[in-house]
Chain A
Amino acid sequence: GAVVSQHPSRVICKSGTSVKIECRSLDFQATTMFWYRQFPKQSLMLMATSNEGSKATYEQGVEKDKFLINHASLTLSTLTVTSAHPEDSSFYICSATTDNEQFFGPGTRLTVL
């Protein structure tokens, strides 16, 4: 099946700094990419939908100025957590879609100290 990668797999940062997470579709071009957040023992929560060349669509309650999404190409989307705080510590997962299938990345564990 298609492969989606995320980088880094885990990151620890200080409060107030910004962190960028990359999501790549390795062997296919993704028309749409999604970003999810998952807190411990909870389900995945959709944060935003990202389409190449256009602005991301954010779910209700997700701050677009805090979670910057850039979808510069059909194989790369980035999520930047700006001015991170401890409450932003979570597992961030991206997914990439073709016309009718969705493939998930391995996730990025963010810890904000």
Chain B
Amino acid sequence: LAKTTQPISMDSYEGQEVNITCSHNNIATNDYITWYQQFPSQGPRFIIQGYKTKVTNEVASLFIPADRKSSTLSLPRVSLSDTAVYYCLVGDPIKAAGNKLTFGGGTRVLVKP
């Protein structure tokens, strides 16, 4: 499974856009990029998944350059409730050992008022 590297933490303010970049230099052809959000004492929650270019949903956008060696999660106009740890995962969601996921260190995002 491809290893990922993310910043340990990021601070932001309410209403700002938060961009978290994840490096995955040895991503494989069949790998997708998935981001999860985790609040304290809760299980991770799926945010977004993509393979290439740009994916957008009601919560976030995911930007993936052509070489796919990195990806950026963009959270528009964050609020205090977006304070959480964000995990970037890389893998084949369908075939990889029964969807086995390997979590990296995650990025702790603190949104300040």
User: How far is it, in angstroms, between the C-alpha of A1 and the C-alpha of B100 when the chains are bound?
Assistant: 20
The A49-86 residues at the B interface (CB cut-off 8 A) are 49, 51
Task: Tell me if A's interface is mostly helix, strand, loop or mixed.
Answer: strand
Instruction: Name the CB-closest residue of B to A51.
Output: B98
Known: A49-B100, A100-B94. A109 touches B41 (CB 8 A): yes
Check B94 against A93 for contact (C-beta < 8 Å). no
Check A34 against B103 for contact (C-beta < 8 Å). no
Check B42 against A34 for contact (C-beta < 8 Å). no
User: How far is it, in angstroms, between the C-alpha of A46 and the C-alpha of B42 when the chains are bound?
Assistant: 16
CB neighbours (8 Å) of B57 from chain A are none
Check B43 against A95 for contact (C-beta < 8 Å). yes
Please tell me the size bucket of the interface on B: 20 to 34
Check B101 against A43 for contact (C-beta < 8 Å). no
Cβ of B65 under 8 Å from chain A: no
Cβ of B29 under 8 Å from chain A: no
CB neighbours (8 Å) of B7 from chain A are none
- Min Cβ gap A81→B in Å is 18
Check A32 against B87 for contact (C-beta < 8 Å). no
Check A49 against B98 for contact (C-beta < 8 Å). yes
Known: A31-B98, A32-B99, A49-B97. A43 touches B43 (CB 8 A): no
Scoring A1, A4, A34, A51 by chain B CB atoms within 10 A of each residue's CB, the highest score goes to A34
CB neighbours (8 Å) of A51 from chain B are 98
User: How far is it, in angstroms, between the C-alpha of A32 and the C-alpha of B36 when the chains are bound?
Assistant: 19
